[in-house]
Structure 1
C-alpha cells in the first residue's frame, strides 16, 4: 500500500481538490450520532438517535477511510456524538493506524467530551493517536452540569489527566456562551496552560433544534479576545494544526489560544476538510447541505476504482463557503441537522 501511494505521488497525481482549487487533505469522520451528554448548544435534551441499521459498520467506515487516504487525505479525525461510547471503537482505531505505519497518513486524532477518556487513554496512545481535543466549557461543576445537562466535571478532568499521563497532547475546546461561561475564560486559559494544554474558543453554530434561541448565548470571539487582552499579552502565531483555529501565544504563560470563528470571520477560503457521517453521507461543508451518500454504493458492492471515482466526483460539489448567521432575525437554525449528525 505504501509503495503504491509513493508511485502515485511520483506520477504527479494532485490528490483531491475542489472547484476553487483548495486541496482536501483532512477528513472528519463521525462514528456515531449518540452521546452521553446533551450539551445545550449541540442537542435537544430529548434526542431521537438513528436506528442502528442506518449506521455504517466499522468495516464500511474503514473502507471509506482507506479510500480517502488513497486519494491523498493525510489527516483523519474521529468525532461523534461521542466517539468513545461506540462499542469496539478501539478495534476500529487500531485498524486505521495501519495507515500511520505505512506513512500514507500523517495524523489520526479524536474529538471527545472526555467522559470515557480515563479508561481509554492508554489504548488510544498505543494505537497511534497522538492528540485529542476535549470539550470543556466550564471549570465550575454546577455550571458544567447545566451546560452539558448530563456531564460530570470530575470525570472529564480525570480523563484529561489520564490522557496527559498516557503521552497524548490535549487541546481544550471551549464554546463561548454569553451569560453562561464568559466570566471563566481567563481562569480557563491559566488552568489549561498551567497543565501544558492548548485551549481554543469556539463560536456557537446555528445547527439543529436545541430547545432554545441561540441568540441568548451567542458570543462573538472578537469580544472574547478583547476580554482576554485585559489579562494577557496576546502575540500573533503562525502555528497551525490543519484545522480552522487561528492561534495566538500568551506572553505570560508561553501557551497557545486558538480562535474558531465561523460567524465573525469565517475560514472558508482555506478550507481543507470534508465530513463523513456515521451513515456514510459526505458533507462538503459544515454549513451547507451539499452532500453525497456512499452507503448504498458500499452496501451494493462497489469496487475500489468506482469508490475512488465517487470521492473525486464528490469534491465538485464543495461550495465556496457557508451562510451561517446568528441574530434576532435568524433565531431558527441555519440547518436542521444537529452537530452530532455531521460530527463535532
Structure 2
C-alpha cells in the first residue's frame, strides 16, 4: 500500500487492504498500470479504479470462458468428422499418410516454381514436426491421462479422437494446417463459410490461431482487456471476412471487442442457437456499459473503442440473418 501511494495511487483503510490481498499485487497494480505495453501508462489515481479494471477484466473472462471451451470442442469435432471420412480410419498412421498431406497441394497455390518448391519444403517440415509433437504428447500423457493409458494397457493404437483430447489448441491448429485441401474445404463447406474472394480454409486456419491466444489467456487467468495476449500479427483476411459477414467496420484485433465478434462468428458457423449467440453479445454489451460508468474515460477508452456499440449492433444483425 505504501508503494502504491508512492506511485500516486490513493489507497487506505482495511477494506482496500483486503481487496488488495484478494486480487494480489500483480493484478492489483503491476498488471493494470498500463495498457498493451509498459510504456503506455494509465492515468490511475485511485485504488478503486484498479479494482474496477480488475473486475471488468474478470467479468469479461467469466463471460467468455464457457463459450471458448465449447467452441474449441465443437470445432475439433467438426474437423474430426471430416478427417475420419476422408481417411477412412481412426488410426493416426493412416490419417498421417492419407489426410495430413497439405504439402501435396502447394503447387496449385503457387504459380512460381521456386515459391512452390519452398512451400512444399515448409509444409513437409511442418508435417514432420507435427508427428514429433504427437509422439511427445503421448509420452507425456500415457501415465496421467486415462484416455491414453487405456489404449496403452490394451496394447492398441491410440485413436485420433483420443489424441484430440490431449492436444492443445495450438497443436490442433498445426494439425488443421497440415490437412489436405480437400479436407479443409469439406470442413469450411460444413461451416458454410463464404468463398468468393476469400480463401476459407486458410482464413479458418488463421482464426484458430487467433482464437488460441485468447483461449490460453482466459484459461490461465491472464489480463485480456488490452489484448496483450496476442502472440503475433493477425492476418487482415480474418478481419476482412468478419467485416464482410457481419457488415461491421474494420476488425483489426487491437481491442477485445473484436475477439468477441470472432467468438460470435465461430459460434454461429458451428450452429449454436441464435439465443446463445445473442446472450454473448448482450452479456458483453452490459459489462461494457457498466464499466463505462465506473471508470474515467481516459482509462476506459484505452480498452474499449468508440466503435464498440456499432460493432455489437452489426453482430446482432448478423445473428438475425442466420
TM over 0.5: no
TM range (shorter): under 0.3
Instruction: Determine which structure has the larger strand proportion and give its number.
Output: 1
The higher radius of gyration belongs to 2
Q: Which has the higher contact order (CA 8 A, sep 6+)?
A: 1
